[in-house]
Structure 1
Amino acid sequence: MTVRVQAEDFDVGAEIDALTRDRHTIGGVTAFVGLVREIAGGDAVSAMTLEHYPGMTERQLEAIEAEARRRWPLDDVLLVHRYGRLEPGDRIVLVLTASAHRQAAFESCHFLIDWLKTKAPFWKREETPQGDRWVEAKDSDDTAAARWAENPVWPGG
């Protein structure tokens, strides 16, 4: 299990290499990389600042990761989430899931992103020409996360 909350950028290729090096039971790796958009809610965004509560954030990410491991046969998982001031195009989050089974890798990665969006304690503030604003939770994110309650465990490969 690897969970990191950091201000520094990450190298996606290097992270995948580190996760898979000399691990020949892995049949597939699924990756999701979240980026800062330059348009949000129809407005230009010049930067986004992400804040978190150290300690609590890592514990919650570890709990989310443990739930994914309970549901799918995963060889490994990596969750990296950045904080601080980020500009459009900057990487915010990396989720890697590795499994012998591609379906497990895909589904668990999707699950992790859905739950990160709704259950991880991060606060986002966007800088726009109209002024700074806090990003509100979206009903669509809650709906996406709720769908995983309907399929609590991986059916098999």
Structure 2
Amino acid sequence: MGASGGADSSKPGSNTDSVAGSARELGSEAVKAAQAKAKEGADTAKRTVSSTVSHGAEALGCAADSLRDQGEETLAQTTTSIASGLSEYAERLEKRTSEDLTQDLVRLARQNPTLFVLGSVGVGIALSRFFKASSRPSDGYS
């Protein structure tokens, strides 16, 4: 590295390399921090979705048993099949890394952009309804 200070520091652009290096280093650190935060969020979301799907599969299993008790065998079989599929999906989801899921999502978006956009809109609507429902104030009878 060159000397810092003295006559060299009065030349225009003499500190440019060190400033650019510092900026690159800060930028790199910021990117790493953002990636770590995104991975943490993706892992949390994956666990939440997997848990929710597992609970849904269990509830459908109970519903199938109830339908079977009521003599609705065809509907019970269909419900059991859906519950089984959800349970398998939850298991596969739990075993995959967030990077794998991200790659699958990118592949889906490239192979079928229409499905991806419609799915994104559906997820957006579902999330907005969830947040709207969870942020409702009380009836005002406090």
Which one has a larger percent strand, Structure 1 or Structure 2? 1
Which TM-score applies when normalising by structure 1? 0.22
Higher-RCO chain (CA-CA 8 Å, sequence separation at least 6):
1
* Higher Cα radius of gyration: 2
Larger relative helix fraction: 2
